[in-house]
Structure 1
Amino acid sequence: MVRMSAEERRESVIRAAVVEFARGGYKGTSTEVIAKRVGVSQPYLFRLFPSKQAIFLAASLRCCQGVTEVFRRASEGLEAEEAVQAMGQAYQALIADDPDLLLMQMQMYVAVASAEADGDQEFGEALRTAWMEMYDTVVLAVGAEVGEATQFLAYGMLINVLVSMGFQPEHRVWSGFDGPTQPQG
């Protein structure tokens, strides 16, 4: 059996954390479940990450960075509407291929709100910074048209909500969307 390095284990923990937190949320997911998914002990998990919040933060940042990179690659060399269409299609493919990524995003928003309600501003700040990188990537792709970038992200959030709630592609709720924005089977 080949031993994994600490960095490889850390990556395994982040991938497992995305899946577990996506399904159970921050408060509903135990570190024990994450450790079990990875095949390590809880004490080892805490040698890789100092706390449950640090694990959640790493998983959330990975999620934001992944979406940002998808937008960046999809819009490369394109402008305005072509970039919007390419980013929309790429995001749609991303969440179809990895539904846990979508659910992790939704859990991230809830966790930030909950942490801030409990007085923890630092946690949200780190995730807002990562989200702003995604926002800036979209603004740049649409040619610094802030209104168009806002509309793109607003539609994206609505799609996130509808998909998270399980609305199937043929449901009438999707009739207000046109073209590649509407989810495929």
Structure 2
Amino acid sequence: MKKDQSEMSSEELWHLYPIILSEHKDCWKDWYLEEKETLKRILKLDNMILSHIGSTSVDTIWAKPTVDILVEADGGDFSAVFETLAKHGYIHMYRTKTRMSFVKGYLPEGFAEKVYHIHVRLFGDNDELYFRDYLIEHPETAKEYETLKLGLWKPFEFDRDGYTNAKGEFVKAVTEKAKRLYRGRYIRSEI
């Protein structure tokens, strides 16, 4: 008898949903635009900004074929956002007072064709935008990041936390550099 995902350990889930990297695919932008429209339609928030983040938003590097979307919104809207996304089939991963994370495309038998990570944050909690922009505007740094990820892929294929943690110092350093360079680019206290 097959276990339900909610009954699986992290290790079992990591084997069901391993780290996979792929050359950039142009369809990822289209997937983002489709999901953006879905999120705008179901969330119906007046004050909301959606952005394509993560490696699929950088068209020069390999990436996990997962489209990451940042949803910046007012803190007062968070309960409604949580309920709406859960009601529409997004799987809740974690929730704090100022952040939420959901996934879509994680099927009981493995990944769907289209896989999404939805990151819901308060306006201004958007370091990923700085990191993305720096990689796009500095191809040599993007290639360094790609090389790092490709080197971590097989050793951490079944350890998502280890994979993320192993990239952490690089991501942090580049993000700090980008925030100095692009100071104030994404200050969004209100719309």
Bin of the TM-score, shorter chain as denominator length: under 0.3
Larger Cα Rg: Structure 1 or Structure 2?
A: 1
Which has the larger share of helix? 1
More strand by share: 2
TM-score between both structures, scaled by the size of structure 1: 0.25
